[in-house]
Amino acid sequence: MYSISGPGITSATVTLTDAANTDFSSTFTRASGSAGNYVKFTITAGGFTLRATPAEPASGTRRAPVNGVQIVPVSTGAIGVNFVGSSTAAMGAAETAGVVARPRWNNATGAARATPLGLLDESGAATGATITWAANGIWATPITDAAGNARMMRGYLDTSSTTTTTVRVSGLPARTYDVYVYADGGNHVYTRAAAYTISGPGITSRTINLIDAASTNFSTTFNQASNSSGNYVKFTITASEFTLTARPVSGANTTLRAPVNGIQIVPAGP
């Protein structure tokens, strides 16, 4: 019998029968009160205790071998954060949006939040990840409100010409993520450029500039910026937390801005 327990874990026991005259060759067979060569537990915890106790035969030589233990993070689904800004409509749970179209976006209201907001993933499950943010203000583009991409891209966190917006995400399962940062401001007839930087423990800091073209508002198409025009930038990181900053760089007039309409955190690879 193999049992797992620990703080916050509902103890579970699985019986594995080691069949006579059978040694491992090339196939893994899961045991669940049956013959096999491995058992599987799913837990949410920071630690655990595994116990292996011989159970059969009733008398004679009994054993409970442990050849190895493999701990595999269960992939968190994509996490989307919609900065509502000065838009009047938050996203509904069923609305899908983003370059990687997914539902269940977390609505982040207000220009700043110091108390961590717990984040749900695309399935609606709690992830253990949280977000805080601080911006100079909030604003919205003049596009028509509609469910999905338009609603996510309409409202945003805003800077002044000299301030920097900061967004911090922590508590992610440590793995590789693609982080999409969506940015489109109400810049009227003025071209404006902003610098988006991602950093954090174990992350090589990287900055990508995005040019918000004059007289161009989001309609239906996402265009990746890489020190060029576009409405989103993409970073790939391996980490459990990160800090994103948005800083205005230049523009066609003296009013500079660095909008952040939303972020999407998508597990990369298997």
Residue 42: per-residue pLDDT: 82
For residues 216-225, average pLDDT: 96
SS (H, E, C) 61-115: CCCCCCCCCCCCCCCCCCEEEEECCCCCCCCCCCCCECCCCECCCEEECCCEEEE
Question: Is the pLDDT assigned to residue 269 strictly greater than 80?
Answer: no
SS3 154: helix
For residues 47-57, average pLDDT: 90
Class of domain 79-267 (CATH, top level): mainly beta
Residue 73: per-residue pLDDT: 62
Question: Is the pLDDT assigned to residue 251 strictly greater than 60?
Answer: yes
The DSSP annotation for 5-43 comes to E-TT---EEE-EE--TT---SS---B-SSEE-SB-----
Instruction: State pTM to two decimals.
Output: 0.76
233-249 pLDDT tens trace: 999 999 999 999 999 99
Confidence of residue 57 (pLDDT cuts 50, 70, 90): confident
Q: With contact defined as beta carbons under 8 Å apart, do 104 and 119 qualify?
A: no
Residue found under tokens 């509902």: 10
- In sequence order, the 6+-apart residues with CB closer than 8 A to the CB of 116 are 130, 131, 132, 170
Confidence of residue 56 (pLDDT cuts 50, 70, 90): confident
Confidence of residue 58 (pLDDT cuts 50, 70, 90): low
- In sequence order, the 6+-apart residues with CB closer than 8 A to the CB of 130 are 116, 117, 118, 119, 169, 170, 171
Report the chain's mean pLDDT, rounded to a whole number: 94
Both tokens of residue 156? Answer: 């945003």
Question: Is the pLDDT assigned to residue 126 strictly greater than 90?
Answer: yes
68-106 pLDDT tens trace: 999 876 556 999 999 999 998 999 999 999 999 999 999
> Per 3-state DSSP, what percentage of the chain is helix, strand, and coil (rounded to 5)?
0, 40, 55
| Residue boundaries of the structural domains of the chain | 1-72, 79-267
For residues 173-191, average pLDDT: 96
1-19 pLDDT tens trace: 999 999 888 999 999 999 9
DSSP state of 144: P
Confidence of residue 45 (pLDDT cuts 50, 70, 90): confident
Distance separating alpha carbons of residues 34 and 30, to the nearest angstrom: 8
- CA distances for 145 relative to 51, 116, 164, 181, angstroms: 56, 28, 27, 20
For 20: left if phi > 0, alpha if psi spans -120 to 50, otherwise beta; the answer is beta
- In sequence order, the 6+-apart residues with CB closer than 8 A to the CB of 162 are 248, 256
Both tokens of residue 201? Answer: 């423990």
